[in-house]
Amino acid sequence: MSYLALSLTLIFVLIPLILSKTLKLGLEKDTFIATIRSIIQLLAVGYVLKFVFDSNHFIYIFLMIALMIGTATLNARKKGKSIDGITWKIAVTLLTVEVLTQAILLGFHIVPATAQYIIPISGMIIGNSMVLSILFLNRFTAEMHAHRDQVELILSLGGTPKQAIHHQLISAIKASMIPTIESQKTIGLVQLPGMMSGQIIAGADPIQAVQFQLLIVFILLTTAAVSSIFLGFLSYPTLFNSRMQMLKEKF
Amino acid sequence: MDKVYEPAIHFNHVDFQIGDSKIIKKVTGSFPKGKITTLVGPSGAGKTTLLKMCNGLISPSAGEIFIHNKLITDYDPIDLRRNVGMALQAAPMIKGTVFENLELPLALQSKKLPEEDAISYLDDVGLERDFLHKNADDLSGGQRQKVSIARTLVNQSEILLLDEITSALDRASLKEIEELIVKINGKYNVTMIWITHNLEQALKIGHYTWVLMQGEVIETGESKLLENPQNDLVKHFVQGVIK
């Protein structure tokens, strides 16, 4: 795409700006900031990726993944402030999902062990895991507050903290996984996934683009399941003390 | 208290505080074994806090609690809570049938409750066997409280803590629950500690009474103390409630 053509795509920014101004939505400033940030961030990452792909050195791949995990952790942790140690719990969850997925992909030679494959796939894994973590924490916190009396009931009858929080934990895990599963049911029928569309526009064979998209779709299922379950089981023990009492400030 | 008795629960200089706020202040005293003791006092006096400390749902900030002469912290929390049952004020139910709710204490130990036993527990609380497979969400306030009490009986606890179980009931249900508590106390010789706002009820049902105000035990003794309190604060409280 030429720079002139790229400049013309700003028309798609002008349309919402004009609509916002006309209808007094008050979104002009946010739209403007979002546009500038996306230009700067994407161009910067484009140059960084070019450098990393050209060098194809392990340390740069590692640094890129560490940066992704760090940024995703900082973003997701805001939703789980009531859970002690939520920062490291999210970081460990993202790292586990990344290591597990890449071990399968690289171990079975499903994709080549090059920066060109590892980094974009890692971005999708970590990004999806971050969204899942946020969904899970949102739901889990809401469930805990809404069903405090049930947790107390089970403890009062001699249940363990795990038994007491089981229902809330399972509800939150299911609720966070449902969007991933549901969106995959209509994939290709309602929406063409971004990665596949990008490959086709760039001139790739549609069948090959579909194959890669299937790979990502399946990875995202694992990501969804492992992220919410792992984070859930790391999180719930911090809501109780060693005498199996609910920590008042957490509920 | 006037007579010599064996304590089921003993408090020794117990404090409970959250931040700078003291909810329970230097409480010392015993709850007699096999008897019904009522806890009365104005809202916010610390009655529920005191009750929750008895089965380890919360721990004192200072002081000691003994259950059957053994320090509460020497009990495994799970064993303690099975031995000291509690019926919560709101009578929360898990989703499912009355049977599933009755079976809950055993299900938590991976055990099953035979249906005949469940019917017997329902009978204890004056509910027909037809209730067994009713959805718990469809129960009235009184029925929920009865199921909640029956559920605490399943663990065959030696001590039962009852947190305002009649506060939201109509007159008929209230009378039924009162009779039920007396029946359970007699049949199973269970020690009962019952929070109530109803002083007539405390006089009628309770063998002993503790009057709590602002986290302190102001007066204790046989329930008839409510007819003629010695302490001015208690006198004022009793007159206020009766008016």
Q: How far is CA B136 from each of CA A35, A98, B98, B147, rounded to the nearest angstrom?
A: 54, 44, 5, 9
The dihedral built from the CA positions of residue A125, A131, A136 and A137, taken in this order, carries a sign that is positive
Query: Structural domain tally of chain A?
Result: 2
Which residue of chain B is at minimal alpha-carbon distance from A247? B58
**Using CB atoms, which residue from A150, A152, A160 is nearest to B57?**
A152
**Same domain flag for A14 and A70:** no
Q: Residue B32: CA atoms inside 13 Å, Cβ hemisphere, count?
A: 20
Q: Residue B181: CA atoms inside 13 Å, Cβ hemisphere, count?
A: 32
Q: Where would I find the beta strands (DSSP E) of chain B?
A: 7-18, 21-32, 36-40, 62-67, 70-71, 84-87, 159-163, 191-195, 208-213, 216-222
- A6: pLDDT strictly greater than 70: yes
Chain A residues with CB under 8 Å of B108 CB are 154, 157-160, 163
| Percent of chain A clearing pLDDT 70 (strictly above) | 100
Nearest to B217 by CA among B225, B227, B209: B209
Q: What is the mean pLDDT of residues B186-201?
A: 90
**Same domain flag for A28 and A90:** no
CB B78 within 8 A of CB A164: no
Q: Does any CB of chain B come closer than 8 Å to the CB of residue A215?
A: no
- A180: pLDDT strictly greater than 60: yes
Q: Does any CB of chain B come closer than 8 Å to the CB of residue A243?
A: yes
What is the C-alpha R_g of chain B? 18
B31: tokens are 């709850």
Which of B 64-93 lie inside 8 A of A, CB atoms?
73, 77-79, 81-82, 85-86, 88, 90, 92
Q: Residue A182: CA atoms inside 13 Å, Cβ hemisphere, count?
A: 6
* Contacts (Cβ under 8 Å, ≥6 apart) of A231: A89, A90, A93, A133, A136, A137
Q: How far is CA B105 from each of CA A74, A155, B178, rounded to the nearest angstrom?
A: 41, 10, 24
**Same domain flag for A114 and A216:** yes
Chain B residues with CB under 8 Å of A243 CB are 56, 59, 73, 77
Q: What angle do CA B189, B191, B193 make, to 5 degrees?
A: 145
**Same domain flag for A242 and A173:** yes
Quickly list DSSP for A119-165: HHHHHHHHHHHHHHHHHHHHHHHHHHHHTHHHHHHHHHTT--HHHHH
A90: tokens are 């999210």
Q: Which domains does chain B have, with CATH numbers?
A: 7-242 (3.40.50.300)
Q: What is the pLDDT of residue A79?
A: 81
Place of tokens 């039924």: B176
Confidence grade of residue B107 (pLDDT, cut at 50, 70, 90): very high
Q: Does any CB of chain A come closer than 8 Å to the CB of residue B120?
A: no
- B173: pLDDT strictly greater than 60: yes
Query: Across the strands, what pairs with B67?
Result: B9, B70
- Among A10, A33, A55, give the residue marking a domain's end: A55
**Same domain flag for A182 and A213:** yes
What would the pLDDT profile of A186-202 be if each residue is shown by its tens digit? 888 877 788 888 888 88
**Same domain flag for A129 and A141:** yes
What residue numbers bound the domain in which A64 lies?
56-250
What would the pLDDT profile of A120-176 be if each residue is shown by its tens digit? 999 999 999 999 998 999 899 899 889 999 999 999 999 999 999 999 999 999 999
- Among A15, A33, A55, give the residue marking a domain's end: A55
